[in-house]
Amino acid sequence: MRNERLYFVVSALVGVLWGLASWIRRLPTWRSRGQKGASAGVSTRILVIRMDELGDMVTTLPLLHAIRQENPLAAVDLWCKPLHKDWLAPQGLVNTIWTGDAPAPKEHYHWVLECRGNWQTLLYALRTWPQGRRDRGSIRLWRRLSGQSQLHEWDINLRIAAPLLNGNIEAITRFKTKGQPETPEGSGALLHGDDPQAVAEINLFKQRLDLGKYVVFHAGARKLLRRWSLQGWADLAHRLHEEFQLDIVFVGTPEERMDVDRIQEKLNFETFTYMEGRPIRYLIPLLARASLMVGNESGPMHLASATGCPTVGLFGPGEPEIFSPKAHNFRALHIKLPCNPCGQIRCVHPDNPCMNRITVDEVMKAVHDLFFFD
């Protein structure tokens, strides 16, 4: 944690100095009024960096869509963790996905956008010295020094890309109804679920189990304090099965299987699992075809909302006003206590943690709102 904070400070200072150096050298880090944009040509190369887990990577999708909308001829590459290449490559949002080691120095980028980096990504930018570099650290530093509140994750990512959006941030952050930005496809969904191999896998899964309309549950989370009670999941399954005649499909990692087994033991009807450690890209069409998804604050919750699936997110120690999907198909439930947000390691209310204060009735109310909103 201390090393991460040191990186944040150094990255922010580098970002401030980079902007000053760019201004002195008259590099187009900030575009002059009326300028069409340095990224209008096909030769412009942009590297987006996001060294984070699944949910955080999903929050970067609006940035990738926005860059594509405003810079259709530019080459846009992504540097991320290896687990993301499998599901992001079929989306067609980027040209090349770099994982692990840094891109070769010969891969000269005009712009480097660090949505979340590390020492390796910072040294790469310093070594290759692109025309412009933007990072979240310097934006957050300026806001903190000026007394402004923290931005939503989607918004801070778009501000990182501001010089490449032709001054069109306001238009891009103008959401349809309550939620998602327009995408090139015009559907409002940030992810498409039509990868042929993944779709074939999901269709076979549904046929084998004779699934009808179904709801996807994700009862896990990387941190224990983000997990709703097992009894809550069992009671919710009963209500959704009886009221909406929905089949229940549990998703998650193999490590979360024990909790799912304990939930299923509390039920008097058959439920199903999709937890065999399959690639993430197979999860996308499963979520896209679901009638509903309910999940703790974690990657599958973000993934579901991005596909357009009506989604209810259960938040405890986190901050939904900053980290929840900004989407018309999403409802966040959160009981905010004075201790929120916390470090998510040790709870000061161990007998009644904030996650367990969310009631099944509140979840059902959110489900009705999603199914019947105008």
CA atoms within 13 A on the CB side of 177: 11
Q: Provide the pLDDT confidence category of residue 111 given band limits of 50, 70 and 90.
A: very high
Residue closest to 294 by CA, chosen among 255, 265, 339, 263? 263
Please determine whether the domains at 2-172 and 196-372 fall in the same fold group of CATH: yes
* Superfamily (CATH H level) for 196-372: Glycogen Phosphorylase B; (3.40.50.2000)
Tens digit of each residue's pLDDT (9 = 90 or more) over 94-106: 999 999 888 987 7
Domain boundaries, the chain: 2-172, 196-372
> What's the angle, vertex CA 53, arms to CA 321 and CA 303, rounded to 5?
65
Using DSSP, state whether 368 is helix, strand or coil. Answer: helix
Fold of 2-172: Rossmann fold (3.40.50)
Tens digit of each residue's pLDDT (9 = 90 or more) over 202-221: 999 999 999 999 999 999 99
Length of the chain: 374
For residue 46, how many other CB atoms are within 10 A of its CB?
Answer: 24
- Phi/psi of residue 249, each to 5°? -120, 120
Cα(374)–Cα(101) distance, integer angstroms: 48
Cα(284)–Cα(231) distance, integer angstroms: 27
Strand 96-99 and strand 214-218: the pairing is unpaired
Average pLDDT over residues 180-201: 72
Cα(338)–Cα(351) distance, integer angstroms: 16
Tens digit of each residue's pLDDT (9 = 90 or more) over 299-342: 999 999 999 999 999 999 999 999 999 888 899 999 988 888 88
**141 has pLDDT over 90:** no
